[in-house]
Amino acid sequence: AAGARLVKARGFTLIEVLVALAIVVVGIGALLGSMTSAADTTIYLRDKTFAQWIAFNRIAEVRLKGVLPAKGKTKGEVNDFAGRRWHWEQDVQPAAVPGTLRVDVSVRPAEIAEASKGSWYATETGLMGDAVDYVSAGTDIFDPERGKVEGESQGDGDHDQ
């Protein structure tokens, strides 16, 4: 064949294709690992937020009773918060200010054992005591426009009503 010429084919060898494929697989594996880690972190932060809400709710419940809680530790459970069960532990101790108690509430999911390290997802602190009076309906209220206190229980007899 007079016009026939041998043309050498140009392209990738099988080894070059396999090396490129291996690099792509390693990259995708690293990406998936990173995405899984981000998802786990998001789930943990969601649960930590729920634990904080439960702790703050427990502190609010203690304050709303209007009676100082007994000193020491108590434990309890919240049966359904965000579709899960939660355990809480409350520790009431005297605070630095006389007549004030420090209320620490720690919360963890019920399925996590108490003995495991880092089992408490959140610990929140509140203060209460008889050193400060509670404000409720019918008590004295300061009127900033007049610069005077109005209310029922003022001791000097000067009432603006």
Whether residue 125 has pLDDT greater than 70: yes
Q: What is the rounded CA–CA span in Å between residue 41 and residue 26?
A: 23
pLDDT tens track for 78-120 = 999 999 999 999 999 999 888 899 999 999 999 988 777 778 9
Side chain identity at residue 135, one-letter code: V
Task: Assign 3-class secondary structure to 29-73.
Answer: HHHHHHHHHHHHHHHHHHHHHHHHHHHHHHHHHHHHCCCCCCCEE
Is the pLDDT higher at 102 or at 136?
102
**pLDDT, average across residues 62-88:** 93
Indicate yes or no: pTM above 0.85.
no
Cα 27 from chain centre: 34
pLDDT tens track for 18-28 = 999 999 999 99
The dihedral formed by the CA atoms of 137, 135, 51 and 74, expressed in degrees to the nearest 10: -110
Quick one: pLDDT at residue 108? 94
> If you average pLDDT over every residue of the chain, what do you get?
83
